[in-house]
């Protein structure tokens, strides 16, 4: 039996529904992956304890921190000292996409935040399209 113009078969509806469901699932997967990358993209590092340097804890910026302590550094990292070693992660995000020709990013070490302002008029903020961190 031939299909008349403007009609569809049950087979055609099913295949279109399958393709549509596949693409919806695929786009949902891409969206979720993008969110995870944004949320999990933090700069971290680990430094094993060296008994030749200190047996009392972790050394960071010339200071000894006892095992079990946590602190925020002057360069905006959250650090933890354990008997394994020192682990630190950044606690800030950086502006990723903005108009770099007319704007400049400025980092405030007190608040650990960036602001993006116009080069010609620093009292005006610029639009930020994405963040990295």
- The pLDDT tens digits of the residues spanning 86-117 come to 999 999 999 999 999 999 999 999 999 999 99
Average pLDDT (49-75) is 91
Rounded Cα–Cα distance for residues 132 and 48 (Å)? 27
> Residue 6's pLDDT band (boundaries 50, 70, 90)?
low
Domains of the chain: 44-90 (2.10.70), 94-132 (2.20.25.590)
Q: Which tokens sit at 41?
A: 């993209």
Residue 15 banded pLDDT, cuts 50, 70, 90: low
Burial 8-22 (b: 16+ CB within 10 A, else e): eeeeeeeeeeeeeee
**128 pLDDT more than 60:** yes
Backbone angles phi, psi at 104, to 5 degrees: -140, 145
């Amino acid at each position: 039996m031939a299909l008349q113009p403007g009609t569809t078969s049950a087979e055609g509806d099913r295949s279109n529904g399958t393709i549509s469901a596949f693409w919806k699932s695929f786009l949902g997967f891409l969206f979720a992956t993008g969110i995870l990358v944004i949320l999990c993209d933090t700069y971290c590092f680990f430094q094993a304890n060296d008994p030749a340097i200190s047996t009392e804890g972790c050394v960071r910026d010339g200071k000894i921190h006892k095992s079990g302590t946590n602190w925020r550094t002057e360069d905006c990292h959250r650090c933890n000292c354990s008997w394994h070693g020192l682990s630190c992660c950044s606690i800030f995000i950086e502006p990723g996409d903005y108009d770099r020709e007319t704007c400049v990013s400025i980092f405030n070490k007190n608040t650990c935040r960036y602001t993006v302002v116009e080069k010609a008029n620093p009292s005006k903020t610029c639009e930020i399209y994405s963040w990295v961190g």
